[in-house]
Amino acid sequence: MSRHAGRSTTRWAEATLPALTVVLFLLAWEVMVRWRGIAPIFLPPPSSIAVYLWRMIADGTMEYHLGVTLLRIFAGFLLAAVSGIALGVLMGMSRVVARVADVWIAALYPLPKISLIPLLIIWLGTGEAYRIVISAVTAFFPIVISTYSGIRQADRGLTKAAKDLGANTRQIQMKVIIPAAMPSILSGLQLGMGVTIILIVAAEMIGGSSQSGMGYLLINSGQVMETEKVFASLVVLAVMGAVIIKLQQWIDRKVAPWAMQDDR
């Protein structure tokens, strides 16, 4: 009886406490700003951030900038995913490709990709191409590396079993090694998505000629000291990131359910 009651209390706490801490934090923030009379240009209260956020949504600015940013994120991510998985698979299948690519990856992977921004702006200008390329280049590396290591670490026992059951080399690659590498590929895609979001927003902040996107909105609002808009944009960015990550986790569970903990 008591153990059962204890469990349901824990479950109740698990469900409500996270939300409760957020509410308490916002409340403390609001009270402190009003009580100490902090200037809104420095730290606006949550209530007025909410008002600004609502206005920006109502007049469509937020939707516009968010939409543009999302499109860029998906373009960069798609480019990185396709090229990264393709090269990773090729590396896994061919020792020669692996040797050659390994040199380039070892040299370029540790380089902070943001440091490529000046060069890319010189080569590509400040339009869409530069933003998508910088994010794709950054996301490319974790995707290639995870794909390659997933393929290399494919269980030897499974490939032997497939061979015993009459699979030829090509069938072993397609029907055993690639599915076996799937969980690793998916975790590479998660890492890739994370850096794509960062790089797109950063690139929108630097030298954006198109004057659009969440990064632009942030930097522009900051420059004109509209701190409420800065916070409103941050809130939207945080929600966007969380939604993308949850969506990706949901897709991963659909694509590779066997790789999940609860399968055991």
Residues that bind another protein (CB under 8 A): 155, 157-158, 160-168, 171, 175-176, 179-180, 182, 256-259, 263-264
> Which of 114/182 has CB closer to another protein?
182
Question: Is the Cβ of residue 18 or residue 157 nearer to another protein in the bound state?
Answer: 157
- Please identify, using beta-carbon distances, which residue of 168 and 223 lies nearer to another protein: 168
Looking at the Cβ atoms of 115 and 168, the one nearer to another protein is 168
Please, which residue, 209 or 249, has the CB nearer to another protein?
Answer: 249
> What's the DSSP call for residue 118?
H
> What is the residue whose two structure tokens read 């944009």?
233
The pair phi, psi for residue 44, each rounded to 5°, is -75, 150
DSSP designation for 116: G
Residue 185 in contact with residue 84, Cβ under 8 Å?
A: no
What is the distance, to the nearest Å, from the Cα of residue 109 to the centroid of all Cα atoms in its chain? 18
Shortest distance in whole angstroms from residue 263 CB to another protein: 4
The distance of closest approach from Cβ of residue 189 to another protein in the complex, given in angstroms and rounded to an integer, is 17
**Whole-number minimum distance, CB 18 to another protein, in Å?**
30
CA distances for 26 relative to 22, 48, 143, 230, angstroms:
6, 12, 38, 17
Phi, psi of 38 (to 5 degrees): -70, 135
Terminal CA-CA length for the chain: 29
Q: How far is the CB of 188 from another protein (least distance, A)?
A: 17
Of 132 and 176, nearer to another protein (C-beta) is 176
Nearest of 137, 144, 143 to residue 88 by alpha carbon: 144
CB of 164 to another protein, least distance (A): 5
Closest contact distance (angstroms) between CB of 255 and another protein is 10
Q: What angle do CA 95, 96, 98 make, to 5 degrees?
A: 65
Rounded Cα distance, 239 and 220, in Å: 20
